[in-house]
Chains A and B, each alone.
Chain A
Amino acid sequence: MIHFDFDYCKAESIEEALSAYNTFKAEGKSPLYYSGGTEIVTFCRGGQIKPDVLIDIKSIPECRVFDVKKDTAVFGSALALSEIVDANVFPLLADVSRGVADRTVRNRITLGGNICGRLPYREAVLPFLLCGGKALVAGEGSMRWLPVKELFDKKLKIGPGELLVQLEVPKEALSFPFGVVRRTQGERVSYPIITLAGIMAEGNVRIALTGAFGYPFLLPDLSDYTEGLMGNIPSSFISDTWASSDYRRYLTELSIRQIFKELGVL
Chain B
Amino acid sequence: MKIYSGHELITLSVNGHKREVVIRPADTLLRVLRERLGLTGAKAGCENGDCGACTVLLDGVPVKSCMILALETEGHEVTTIEGLKNERLQRAFAEHGGFQCGFCTSGFLLNAHALLSSHPHPDDETMEEWLSSNICRCTGYEGIREAIKSCCEEVDS
Name A residues whose Cβ lies closer than 8 Å to a Cβ of B.
1-2, 4-12, 16, 20, 37-38, 41-42, 44-45, 53-54, 56, 98, 101-105, 107-108, 188-189
CA distance A11 to B1 in the complex (A): 7
Interface residue count on the B side (C-beta < 8 Å): 33
Asked if B67 and A54 make an inter-chain contact with CB atoms under 8 angstroms apart, the answer reads no
Assuming the contacts A42-B49, A54-B25, asked whether A104 and B55 have C-beta atoms less than 8 A apart, the reply is yes
Among residues of A, the one whose C-beta sits closest to the C-beta of B26 is A2
Asked if A10 and B2 make an inter-chain contact with CB atoms under 8 angstroms apart, the answer reads yes
Asked if B49 and A38 make an inter-chain contact with CB atoms under 8 angstroms apart, the answer reads yes
Asked if A7 and B55 make an inter-chain contact with CB atoms under 8 angstroms apart, the answer reads no
Asked if B1 and A12 make an inter-chain contact with CB atoms under 8 angstroms apart, the answer reads yes
Asked if A102 and B133 make an inter-chain contact with CB atoms under 8 angstroms apart, the answer reads yes
Least Cβ–Cβ distance between B46 and chain A, in angstroms: 10
Among residues of B, the one whose C-beta sits closest to the C-beta of A46 is B48
Asked if B3 and A41 make an inter-chain contact with CB atoms under 8 angstroms apart, the answer reads no
Among residues of B, the one whose C-beta sits closest to the C-beta of A189 is B132
Asked if A108 and B67 make an inter-chain contact with CB atoms under 8 angstroms apart, the answer reads yes
- B67 contacts which chain A residues (CB < 8 A)? 37-38, 41-42, 105, 108
- A16 contacts which chain B residues (CB < 8 A)? 1
B28 interfacial contact with A, CB 8 Å: yes
Least Cβ–Cβ distance between B59 and chain A, in angstroms: 10
Assuming the contacts A104-B64, A108-B68, asked whether A5 and B26 have C-beta atoms less than 8 A apart, the reply is yes
Q: Mark B19-55, 1 if CB is under 8 A from A, else 0.
A: 0000011111001000000000000000111001001
Among residues of A, the one whose C-beta sits closest to the C-beta of B52 is A104
Asked if B132 and A20 make an inter-chain contact with CB atoms under 8 angstroms apart, the answer reads no
CA distance A10 to B10 in the complex (A): 14
Asked if A8 and B48 make an inter-chain contact with CB atoms under 8 angstroms apart, the answer reads no
Least Cβ–Cβ distance between B150 and chain A, in angstroms: 22
Least Cβ–Cβ distance between B11 and chain A, in angstroms: 15
Asked if B133 and A41 make an inter-chain contact with CB atoms under 8 angstroms apart, the answer reads no
Known: A41-B68, A44-B26, A103-B132. 12 other contacts (CB 8 A): A2-B27, A8-B4, A10-B2, A38-B49, A41-B69, A42-B49, A54-B69, A56-B72, A98-B129, A102-B52, A103-B62, A188-B132
- A11 contacts which chain B residues (CB < 8 A)? 1
CA distance A4 to B26 in the complex (A): 7
CA distance A237 to B31 in the complex (A): 40
B86 interfacial contact with A, CB 8 Å: no
Asked if B25 and A6 make an inter-chain contact with CB atoms under 8 angstroms apart, the answer reads yes
CA distance A191 to B32 in the complex (A): 29
CA distance A96 to B49 in the complex (A): 20
Least Cβ–Cβ distance between B32 and chain A, in angstroms: 11
Least Cβ–Cβ distance between B63 and chain A, in angstroms: 5
Most buried by A among B6, B55, B132: B132
Asked if B64 and A8 make an inter-chain contact with CB atoms under 8 angstroms apart, the answer reads no
Asked if A9 and B2 make an inter-chain contact with CB atoms under 8 angstroms apart, the answer reads yes
- A104 contacts which chain B residues (CB < 8 A)? 52, 55, 62-64, 111, 133-134
Q: Which of A4, A5, A44 contacts B6 (CB 8 A)?
A: A5
Q: Mark B70-83, 1 if CB is under 8 A from A, else 0.
A: 01100000000000
Asked if A6 and B26 make an inter-chain contact with CB atoms under 8 angstroms apart, the answer reads yes
B5 interfacial contact with A, CB 8 Å: yes
Asked if A9 and B4 make an inter-chain contact with CB atoms under 8 angstroms apart, the answer reads yes
CA distance A12 to B2 in the complex (A): 11
